[in-house]
Amino acid sequence: MKTRLPPPLPPPLRMKGKKTPLRRCVGCREMKGKTSLIRVVWADGDFSVDKPGKAQARGAYICPNSECLKKAQKSKGFERSFKRNNPKTVIYAQLIMEVTNPCPNGLSSER
C-alpha cells in the first residue's frame, strides 16, 4: 500500500538563506552578527559611528553595551583595529551615550 508523503514545507521566509556575516567586537573579542554590533569607521581624522553601516571605509565593530566599551577603551580597541591614534577622540564617549541613552533622532547631543 502506497502512502503519499505531504510535500515538504517551505523554509521560513525571514532568513531567506542569507547568513549574517560575523564581525569581531573590539571589546570582548567575540564574533557576533554584524547587525547586532555598532560599526565605527575612521573618517576625517577621527573615529565616527557609522549608523547605517554603509560608509565606504574600513570598519570596526563593538557590542552595544557599556561593558564592551570600557574594555575597548582600556585596550584601545579602535586605535589598534585601525592602526590610528587620536588622543582627542570622542568615540568612546559618543558610543557610551549611544548605548546608555539611545536617542531616536540622534540629534539631542548636537548643537
In 3D space, the residue among 16, 12, 32, 15 whose CA is nearest the CA of residue 24 turns out to be: 32
**70: part of which helix (H) or strand (E)?**
helix 66-75
State in angstroms the smallest separation of the CB of 23 from Zn ion. 10
**93: part of which helix (H) or strand (E)?**
helix 91-100
Which part of the chain contacts Zn ion (CB under 5 A), choosing from 25-33, 43-51, 53-61, 73-81?
Answer: 25-33
Q: Which of 23, 27, 41, 69 binds Zn ion (CB under 5 A)?
A: 27
Q: How many residues at the interface with Zn ion, by CB under 5 A?
A: 5
Residue 110, helix vs strand vs coil: coil
State in angstroms the smallest separation of the CB of 15 from Zn ion. 24
State in angstroms the smallest separation of the CB of 110 from Zn ion. 27
Q: Which amino acid is at 1?
A: M
Return the number of the residue (30 or 90) whose C-beta is nearest Zn ion: 30
Site string for Zn ion, 29-68 (x = CB under 5 A): ----------------------------------x----x
CA distances from 61 to 10, 29, 33, 34, 68 (A): 34, 10, 10, 8, 11
Residues near Zn ion (CB under 5 A) are 25, 27-28, 63, 68
